[in-house]
Amino acid sequence: MSTLLLIRSEIESLLDPMTLLAGLRQAFIDYSTSPAAKAHRVRSQLPGLGTATVLFPGTTPGVPAYSVKVHAKFPGQSPAIRGVLCLHDVENGELLAVMDSTHLTAVRTGLAGALAADVLACKEADTVAVIGAGVQGRCQLRSFAALRRIHQASVYDVVPERAATFARELSSELGLAVEAAESAAEAVRGAGVVFTATWARKPLILAGMLAPGAHVTTLGPDEPGKAEVAADVIRNALFVCDDRMLAVEMGALGGVGLGSDAIAAELGEVLAGLHPGRTSSEQVTVYGGVGLAFQDLVAAWAIYQAARLRGVGRGIDFIA
């Protein structure tokens, strides 16, 4: 049987983010509540300014496949994350598909971050701040706007022109007022929901910047040494992660010197009702996600099924 090859433009045409929501929600629950082996992230520094990362194995009940993703991060490039995802039959290891991982990763990360925000933020929160006007900042705002009605949004980026472009384009696309801010503090002032998606190695969200009851989804810290939210902010907040061990090893906690005692729950535990999540309108909540392989699988399986249904892609026999 041939392996299906899918390029980035085909991925973009096949992947509808909102169709992933139910599967992604259930996969988070299964990951945090089942005794199955946890996913792995293996990272290595490359010569120069890049890093290589492997996420495996992506598994979740109900999907007869597993995924292995290999990608590289080069912050100065566009896109900054490039790689491939291999989709295998879980019964015999047959290579079902090889697909570009850039768009897939951006979409599943954006949807996961927005899902956490929707679950943890105050129900009436309708003002959003985005720190980092890159691809992931855009995905976060798009995904959250699909889950909630947003009244207004602000964006800050270390490159003012990028923030201005973000504000102009997302205002038009989403039909809401998006304004570019001159600082992170200005952007988050009064915001009910904050998304941070940067390459920062020093915290951007500091004590006293957040409004009472605010929620922060921090996605930048997915490698050792990266940090976006200060330790004292996290200590005084309800902190939820996607994986306890990885949050400390390479996520939002490890980047600011905190340990597992700062973790209230995993997102899957909140979604399953095993932890209440937010308990008051004044409570600050923080979600730190490093990104897990099962998220890749949920997206890749949807793409694979859509490609077969529509006859998209081309086949190659690697073992001929």
Written as six digits, the tokens of 298 are: 């949920």
**Is 290 a residue whose pLDDT tops 80?**
yes
Residues in contact with 77: Cβ distance below 8 Å, sequence separation at least 6, in sequence order: none
Higher-confidence residue: 47 or 288?
A: 288
Identify the residue whose tokens are 């800050």.
156
What is the rounded distance in angstroms from the CA atom of residue 42 to the CA atom of residue 32?
A: 20
Q: Is 271 helix (H, G, I), strand (E, B) or coil?
A: helix
pLDDT of residue 320: 85
Binned at pLDDT 50, 70 and 90, residue 311 comes out as very high
pLDDT tens for each residue of 107-131: 999 999 999 999 999 999 999 999 9
Identify the residue whose tokens are 């099962």.
294
pLDDT of residue 197: 97
* Other C-beta atoms lying within 10 Å of the C-beta of residue 220: 23
Residues in contact with 163: Cβ distance below 8 Å, sequence separation at least 6, in sequence order: 133, 155, 156, 157, 180, 181
Q: Cis (ω within 30 of 0) for the bond into 212?
A: no
Identify which of 69, 39, 64, 34 has the alpha carbon closest to the alpha carbon of residue 54.
Answer: 69
Q: Is 317 annotated as catalytic?
A: no
- Residue 269 contacts residue 275 (beta carbons within 8 Å): yes
Q: Are strands 95-100 and 81-89 parallel, antiparallel or unpaired?
A: antiparallel
- Residue 244 contacts residue 263 (beta carbons within 8 Å): yes
H helices within the chain, ranges in order? 8-14, 21-33, 102-120, 135-147, 160-174, 184-188, 231-235, 244-249, 267-271, 293-310
pTM above 0.85, yes or no: yes
Top CATH class, 121-288: alpha beta
Residues above pLDDT 70, as percent of the chain? 100
| Residue 205 CA to its chain's centroid (Å) | 18
What is the rounded distance in angstroms from the CA atom of residue 185 to the CA atom of residue 171?
A: 21
Q: Which fold has domain 3-105+293-316?
A: ornithine cyclodeaminase, domain 1 (3.30.1780)
The dihedral built from the CA positions of residue 278, 41, 139 and 21, taken in this order, carries a sign that is negative
* Other C-beta atoms lying within 10 Å of the C-beta of residue 169: 13
**Residues in the chain, total:** 320
**Is 242 a residue whose pLDDT tops 90?**
yes
What is the rounded distance in angstroms from the CA atom of residue 149 to the CA atom of residue 192?
A: 13
pLDDT of residue 147: 97
What is the rounded distance in angstroms from the CA atom of residue 182 to the CA atom of residue 201?
A: 20
Residues in contact with 106: Cβ distance below 8 Å, sequence separation at least 6, in sequence order: 81, 135, 136, 139
Q: What is the mean pLDDT of the chain?
A: 96
pLDDT tens for each residue of 158-194: 999 999 999 999 999 999 999 999 999 999 999 999 9
Mean pLDDT of 283-312: 98
pLDDT of residue 39: 78
Q: Which helix (H) or strand (E) holds 219?
A: none
- Residue 304 contacts residue 14 (beta carbons within 8 Å): no
Q: Where are the domains of the chain?
A: 3-105+293-316, 121-288
Q: Which helix (H) or strand (E) holds 99?
A: strand 95-100
pLDDT tens for each residue of 46-85: 987 899 999 999 999 999 999 999 999 998 888 889 999 9
Catalytic choice (222, 242, 243, 296): 222
Written as six digits, the tokens of 279 are: 């308990």
